[in-house]
Amino acid sequence: MTTLQLSLFGLFAILFLYKTIVAPLRNPLRHIPRAKQPPLRRRLLIEPDSRQCEEWMRETPNDGLIRYSGILGAERILVTDPRGVRDILQLQPYSFVKPGPIRKIIRSILGDGLVVAEGSMHKVSQRKVLQPAFKFAHIKDLYPTFWSKSVEFVDSLSKQVASSGQEAITLDIIPALGRPTLDIIGLAGFGLDFNSVADPSNDLTSNYLHGFSASKSAQLRRMLSLLLPGWFLDILPLKRNKELNAAVKAVRQASERVIQQRKADLQRTSGEKPTAQFPDILGVTMQSGVIDTADLINQSMTFLGAGQETTTSALGWAIYQISLSPEVQSRLREEIRANLPDPSIGTSITAEAIDKLPYLAAVCSETLRLFPPVHMIQRNLTHDLTVCNTAAPKGTSFRISIWALNRSPTLWASDPLVFNPERWLNDARGGATDLYSFLSFSHGPRSCIGERFARAEMATVLAALVGRFHFSFVGSGVDVNPDPDMLDCEFGVTTKINGGLWVNMQPAQG
């Protein structure tokens, strides 16, 4: 071993010992209760997920905060109480920023849009400009688009059942659900029809769904992003880099073509001032004054990535739950068929038609509570501040587990681990003891700007599916395990069913 190698090894050893032994002893937050974790050698390259956070919240006595170690021994502070959630998300939202590695992961998928913006860039330059596009007055005009694509999807599934020559078929429903959600967010977001329901093998759809799908290579890249500089990670010959680059390039080129055409149409309409109307989020955003092509492409990537993946995840969990709950499924179908047109006759619907179905809304809310598409909020403190009555120094890394708080037995009136849509029928909070107990769309100035859009799309697609088909659980995972209690959840960028969800699907009677 050379002198240089010995020096580098010695430096690494000193830094490692300081970080894992000396720094914790000097930590001003060392009085906060610490979660019980395995020895360092067994968790050095592991970032705990929300299941572990849920377990710590149950087992570790605390007063709103718990300490634990993340990858390479980095200290995290888990928020377990609505007081801390309010401090971070509502009272001082711009004093907390997403950690650099997390922003890096998100930026590689969503571009430099609203989700990665911080401070004044988020508050003024982006959210304020985008807000008009996500008001209900505009979202309600998109329901016919949601419904038409949902009908096209259930028609394609009906043809699949008919062509099988059987009364029912068994399939992994997760990949199938990605097709209507991709078409919907493409059309309603920026006027681009991916045509994935009609032709799932077309180049644009294949590139996108393959590039952003869950895989071992995706998990590897996420882990490396926590360890390596972004520029170095991007040049590594990883399979995921190739897939991601192809997907991003394809969507960026397609969205740029739409944007350039829109700008030309606007120019023809009124000279220098855009006044033409377009029935999608991109059109409203352009009407708000955003006309820079790069900015519009980034926002289009954000609409697509944030909207498609999360709604697909939510719909998958909804199908999972109703496939295990025949009573819930039957009641939901009765409500849908009594109030909505049969998808087979091609009648359009209004926002009021979907929004007046209380049990459908309850099923969606309960699914989003138990299985939030985004399971964790991660924030680093930008300056000394008090959180949950505790003085925290600049740089403190906070974690808010949406998954764990949505399931906390101290925050919900009835058993929070049970799928129970009834809890939402007589209480707008679902029986939660606090406004900040339900975090699936976050809270405060940085809450999900697309909540109305997401809820409307989820309800519409689910209504079309349940109105036409009966679903029964077959199994999950690569080996199609028939035990629903053994379902493996992947906590990545979104909360997914690992290995797929296999269901028996047959035309519903009656």
Q: Could you tell me which residues are annotated as the binding site for heme?
A: 448
CA distance 448 to 451: 6
Q: What are phi and psi of 171, to 5 degrees?
A: -150, 160
* Angle, vertex CA 77, rays to CA 400 and CA 46, nearest 5: 85
DSSP for 168-194, please give it. -EEEEHHHHHHHHHHHHHHHHHHS---
Q: Smallest Cα–Cα separation from 305: which of 221, 248, 249, 258? A: 248
CA distance 460 to 152: 12
Sheet holding 469-476, edge to edge: 169-172, 501-507, 469-476
Strand pairing category for 75-79 and 397-401: parallel
Q: Which residues are annotated as a binding site?
A: 448
CA distance 404 to 60: 13
Alpha-helical segments (H) within 99-172: 100-110, 119-120, 127-130, 136-139, 143-164
Sign of CA dihedral 414, 416, 421, 423: positive
Tokens read off for 29: 């937050």
Determine the length of the chain.
510
Bridge partners of 475, per DSSP, are 502
Q: Determine contact, residues 397/72, Cβ cutoff 8 Å.
A: no
